[in-house]
Structure 1
Amino acid sequence: MTSDTAIDDIDRRLLRALSDDARLSNSALAKKVGIAASTCHFRVRRLVDRGVIRGFRLDIAPEALGYGIQALVAVRLQPTARGQVATYAAGLARLPGVLNVYFLAGIDDFEVHVAAASADDLRGFVTNLSKAREVASTQTSLIFEHTVGSVGIV
């Protein structure tokens, strides 16, 4: 993200409105924020170009696709694998069922957000992950409920 200009009140109102509904048309967004459609388009494009808005994504409910269990799996790498962190993270992200991979500071190296169809599938995922020679340990926490927050600065 570049910081060639500060985020002003209009940018914050745009971000807040898009956080509530990223599918707003440009004209509806402009009306909601109280600016001209051309200004709105320019400002949103500028926020994207500066890296403030990183993308517009589809958020699919895993349970609608038969993945009724979600978990966070903490992964600690072997000391000899520390030089392969980026490669290992990319490999984790490609595994079936992986929703997010977080690289951490602290005791664990990664937190992997995973969705599975059943407890047996989740156990299989964690067992296979634990067998990798790079992995020193794993710890799994089931997710009972997930609430999406906002950045809070908008």
Structure 2
Amino acid sequence: MTEIMNTLRQTWRSAQLYIGFHRDQKGARRLQPNVWPPKNANASIHSDPSEQEAFVVVKSAQGDPEQDVQIKLRPDKIVLRRDFQDAWNGVLVTEDFVSVAVAGISIRINHDGSITRESETDTTWVEADGSVLKKTDFAEASISADGIDLKRRTPDSIAAVGKDGVIAKSR
């Protein structure tokens, strides 16, 4: 146990809950929200985040503000964001999926276990049954969950490999 504890690196230093009020006491909209930490460390989640929001700021152990994480608490989702470009910079958690943004790539895990990976140039789906589909500007390719059937389609050709043989055809 001591060996494991010695290899752990501290990533986070502190966490602070805040409430942001977007309107003053007379109901007028503020240019900047009035942000304060609640004394009892308890905050309700307002139904309209543009009126009032609850969030937690988690400070990096390295002291680098780009690595700090802001956890926004919404009635329908939880959003984690940070400005750190060398690792993940956004996480979205809803009732149906978890999505992570990393270096311009979005990875989404759905409630059924299926996964979608999207970038500017391609999309890859791993379905809940294990089948895979990849789509780019140049081709679409898929493999069945059991690995028996493979298909590829381009603007010029179609090809398939299955238990009954290979088919390749120009379009």
- TM-score with structure 1 length normalisation? 0.23
Greater share of helix: 1
Greater share of strand: 2
For CA contacts below 8 A with separation 6 or more, give which structure has more relative contact order: 1
